[in-house]
Amino acid sequence: MRVPILLAAVVTAAVALAAAPAGAQTPPNWTTAVDARRDLGLAQTELMLGERTRALTLVNEADRTLAPLAASLPPSARNAVAAMNRAAARGDDVAFAAAQARAWTEILHAGLLGAVADADRGDAAAARRWLLVREFRAPTRFTRAGTDATLAVAGLSRGELTPAAAARAVRADLLDTYDARLRATLQSVRAASLRGFDVRLVEAAALAHGYVRIVAGSYESQRGVAASRRLEAATGQLEQAARDGDRARVERAVGAMDRQLEGFRAAPLAPAEQARRAGQLDRFLRLVPIEYDRGVEAGRVTLAFEIQEAISFRDAAAAAFSDVAPTLIQRDASATRELTAILASLANALDAAGSGRAVARAERVSAQTERSLDLIDALFPAAWKDAAAGADFDVIAASLDRLANAARAGSWSRAEQARLEAYGIFELGPEQRLRGIAPSLFQRIEGLFWYGEGDHAGLVQLVKRKDAGAELDATLAALDTELVDASRRVGTGANSTASVVSNSAIVVFREGLEAVLILAALMASMIGGNRKYRRPLLVGVALAFVASAVTWVVAQTVLGSLAQYGERLEAVVSVIAIAVLLLILNWFYHRVYWAEHLAGFHQRKQRLLRCAGVGLVATQTLGLAALGFSSVYREGFETVLFLHALTLEAGVLAVLPGVLLGLAATFAVGAVTILLERKLPHRKMLIVTGVLMTWVLVILVGTTVQTFQVVGWLSVAPIDGVHLPYWAGTWLGIYPTWQGVLAQIGAATFVVGSYLAAEHVRARRRRRVLTSVAATR
């Protein structure tokens, strides 16, 4: 019988490669092991079909291919070969299947050791050959074949990875694969047992045992020697029960293995990766009730695609959960199991709604999600809550995928919704960090999301044009590239302290500029009798600083939940700021008119004047305080979020000088403005103040319209063919949308018109007075 020779060759090739020292020998061609696998598989099939002659022919053929590699064998492999020999001789396909499973998993194990060893000594070519003899995760709804080992070896060959790093990546990928195969095989054991497929049952049990041997080292290092022995014992019992065809014992053994494998992961996640998966769990879970609520109404599904999206998000959350569950179960097994149960319950509810069987109330889905989030909050270590920025990129990618799908399906409202979600997550998370460490990168990403970048049209333009063609693909591809770059940059820190200092200084300066211009211009005009108005303005400013400080403290603990309201809060505060600024400007331009008007009013209705005068003063005081507060706080809020994110990225010591520099520049501009204005004649000073405030108002209106569009409160109508540089939006609030530009023109027209109207009224009154005087003479 030539089977032993064949397997001897196969396993010997594997073991020799795994054990070969650097440069000891040229590894044999990969085709040996791969061809052997094919031929042994065919031989097993023929044996199963009773074609013993054909089976032996195949075995002999493979044997000839492998003969040059025959050498000594390790005991376990030798035993497997001997078992195959006996089984083939008596036509026992059950025993043959078990022995073949054992031999094959020995080869896989040797392949893992060989690939890791070769990668570790920097031999990428040899490691690559070993990777041709491996298995992959079976594709399911939640998994695809890992490519990390392949890419790591490619990186090693290009000199981009160190041998040690490549070896770690190869080991992790392969261990993770065989861990997944072990669990899938245990399911196969159960299925074969239930169906009464005895040969398959024995084969699957032997495979499970083989996979356990592959991951045993990792298991022992994590759980200890005693636990490892118990797992080995349970696996042995499973194999024996399968051979005996005892279904009850099979079920008990599989149950025991399930319990022992609970919370085990052969390739444990690195801490940073765990935090990222944890972030995914949190973020995807939060989206489930939102989508579900959009899709159901009064106990029926109104928008089926929203339910599908809820299902996708739940599934994504569950996939992330499975990756962090091993750690969570160590922290609190009870809470982790409750979370497992809730996720399963959510899956059932969503599937039932998706298939139309039953529609759970949105409140129930929301309550279950809330409970899950509470559990997550209690279970997650603090480090996970702070360092999960990577998850934002995953959610952004998922949203962009939805955008692409919706575009292809011609559903443009869904596409726009997905775009806004993706941008919202980017703006409130990664952007804050990128602004400090890679400002040009985040500007390019913003451009791709909105009005274009380089040769690529912006997503908002493409969605409005309903362009699902090559241009959309190109923009999405460009965005994907930039986001991949961004995800690498976030979390790895800044390139240099100088860039952090300069970038944070610029951000503080830019955010503070509008506020300081308003305040300085007004303060400069508050001289003489108007000096009293400074106090309410300064009180408002002081309150805004206090509020910003409180926001900073809150951001330390609940940044994630705070950030999601950031844009909305900014939008609301901006509207207040605009309203107050308009009021103040109106008052500013009409001051003379009002004074005259009030004087006349006083003469006619003295009592009413007193009341009205008191009311007016109170309104002016309140208005100035509100202006001081809103103009500072609307920038303060955003600056706080940005600075908080940047301190996570670069540390307080790197950020603080930049903040101080930015504040110094801001105050300098304010001081210079006040000084220059005071040197001007009174009337010119008033005009300069008015112009400055009008300019700031126009910027404010532009940025506020943009903020409204970001949060989806205002539609977007891009101006086709207009491409503005990034600074036009950043410094002037000019974005190429009809809404923004028209609102800015409207604001400017209103203020200028208001000024002209006031002038007209004053001139008419002057003429009337002069006419009256002339008539008197």
Partner 1 sequence: MVRLLALTFIVCLAAGCGGNDAADEAGTTTTAPAEVSGHLAAADLTGVKSYLTEHTDQLVAFTERFRSLAQDYDKLAASVDYDHARLLSEHRTEVAPLLAKAKDLWTEGNPYYERMEGIVAGTPSLAEYDIIIDAGSSKAEDPESAVPFDLDLADGRVLEQPGNLYNLTEGMLWGTRPEFTAHVKADLDEDGKVAFGEALPDARVFTAAADAFDRYARELSTKAQAWQPTPSDAFTALVVMVPTMSEYFGQWKASRFVRGDAANGDSFNVVSRLSDIGDIIAGLEVVFDGVQPAIAEVDAASASQTRDELSDLAAFITDLRAQESSGRRFAPEEAHRLGIEAQERGSAVAGQVTQQAAQLGVEIQQ
126-185: contacts with partner 1 (CB under 8 A) = 128-129, 131-132, 134-152, 154-155, 158, 160-161, 165-166, 168-173, 175-176
Exactly one of 1, 34, 303, 373 binds partner 1 (CB under 8 A); which one? 34
DSSP secondary structure code for residue 467 in this structure = -
Cβ 390 to partner 1 shortest distance, Å: 8
- Which range of residues in 250-258, 379-387, 391-399, 413-421 is near partner 1 by CB under 8 A? 391-399
Closer CB to partner 1, 408 or 684, in the complex: 408
Residues 6+ apart with CB under 8 A from 321: 281, 339, 340, 343
Closer CB to partner 1, 396 or 457, in the complex: 396
In contact, 206 and 239? CB cutoff 8 Å: yes
Query: What does 275-327 look like in DSSP terms, one character per residue?
Result: HHHHHHHHHHHHHHHHHHHHHEETTEES-HHHHHHHHHHHHHHHHHHHHHHHH
Cβ 270 to partner 1 shortest distance, Å: 4
Exactly one of 17, 42, 349, 513 binds partner 1 (CB under 8 A); which one? 42
- Which range of residues in 390-398, 411-419, 550-558, 745-753 is near partner 1 by CB under 8 A? 390-398
Residue 773 to residue 161: CA distance in whole angstroms = 93
Cβ 271 to partner 1 shortest distance, Å: 8
Cβ 252 to partner 1 shortest distance, Å: 23
Cβ 44 to partner 1 shortest distance, Å: 8
Closer CB to partner 1, 393 or 633, in the complex: 393
Query: What does 193-249 look like in DSSP terms, one character per residue?
Result: HHHT-HHHHHHHHHHHHHHHHHHHHHHHHHH-HHHHHHHHHHHHHHHHHHHHT-HHH
Q: φ and ψ at 450, to 5 degrees?
A: -115, -90
The alpha carbon of 604 is separated from its chain's Cα centroid by a whole number of angstroms, namely: 67
Closer CB to partner 1, 419 or 590, in the complex: 419
How many angstroms separate the Cα of 350 from the Cα of each of 143, 310, 395?
21, 7, 20
Cβ 60 to partner 1 shortest distance, Å: 18
Exactly one of 323, 392, 446, 649 binds partner 1 (CB under 8 A); which one? 323
Cβ 101 to partner 1 shortest distance, Å: 11
Identify residue 701 by its one-letter amino acid code: V
Q: Is 340 in the site for partner 1 (CB under 8 A)?
A: no
Residue indicated by tokens 């009224």? 761
503: enclosing H helix or E strand: helix 497-525
Q: Is 394 in the site for partner 1 (CB under 8 A)?
A: yes
Residues 405-424 that bind partner 1 (CB under 8 A): 405, 408
Residue 609 to residue 627: CA distance in whole angstroms = 26
Q: Is 60 in the site for partner 1 (CB under 8 A)?
A: no
Cβ 109 to partner 1 shortest distance, Å: 17
Closer CB to partner 1, 44 or 432, in the complex: 44
Cβ 194 to partner 1 shortest distance, Å: 12
Q: Binding mask 255-284 vs partner 1 (x if CB under 8 A, - otherwise)?
A: ------------xxxx-xxx-xx--x---x
Closer CB to partner 1, 393 or 589, in the complex: 393
Q: Is 352 in the site for partner 1 (CB under 8 A)?
A: no
Q: Is 491 in the site for partner 1 (CB under 8 A)?
A: no
Closer CB to partner 1, 73 or 472, in the complex: 472
Q: Is 345 in the site for partner 1 (CB under 8 A)?
A: no
Residues 514-533 that bind partner 1 (CB under 8 A): none
Cβ 434 to partner 1 shortest distance, Å: 18
Residues 470-489 that bind partner 1 (CB under 8 A): 484, 488
Residues 180-209 that bind partner 1 (CB under 8 A): 188, 195, 197-200, 203
Closer CB to partner 1, 305 or 594, in the complex: 305
Closer CB to partner 1, 204 or 563, in the complex: 204
Cβ 139 to partner 1 shortest distance, Å: 5
Closer CB to partner 1, 412 or 629, in the complex: 412
Closer CB to partner 1, 188 or 639, in the complex: 188
Residues 6+ apart with CB under 8 A from 229: none
Which residues on adjacent β-strands are paired with residue 301?
A: 296
Number of residues forming the site for partner 1 (CB under 8 A): 85
- Which range of residues in 26-34, 79-87, 559-567, 666-674 is near partner 1 by CB under 8 A? 26-34
Cβ 267 to partner 1 shortest distance, Å: 5
Residues 353-372 that bind partner 1 (CB under 8 A): 354-356
Closest CA to 548 of 612, 645, 445, 636: 636
Residue 538 to residue 747: CA distance in whole angstroms = 26
Closest CA to 628 of 707, 726, 548: 548
Q: Is 344 in the site for partner 1 (CB under 8 A)?
A: no
The angle formed by the CA atoms of residues 230, 233 and 236, to the nearest 5 degrees, is 155
In contact, 505 and 667? CB cutoff 8 Å: no
Residue 616 to residue 603: CA distance in whole angstroms = 17
Closer CB to partner 1, 34 or 663, in the complex: 34
Q: Give long-range contacts, CB 8 A cutoff, 24+ apart: 458-467.
A: 458/718, 459/403, 459/419, 460/416, 460/419, 460/716, 460/718, 461/718, 461/720, 462/407, 463/403, 463/407, 463/412, 463/415, 463/416, 463/419, 464/716, 464/717, 464/718, 465/720, 466/410, 466/412
Cβ 148 to partner 1 shortest distance, Å: 2
Residue 265, helix vs strand vs coil:
coil
Residue 352 to residue 347: CA distance in whole angstroms = 8
Residue 372 to residue 652: CA distance in whole angstroms = 33
- Which range of residues in 314-322, 436-444, 553-561, 686-694 is near partner 1 by CB under 8 A? 314-322
In contact, 10 and 36? CB cutoff 8 Å: yes
Closer CB to partner 1, 144 or 610, in the complex: 144
Closer CB to partner 1, 223 or 230, in the complex: 223
Cβ 34 to partner 1 shortest distance, Å: 6
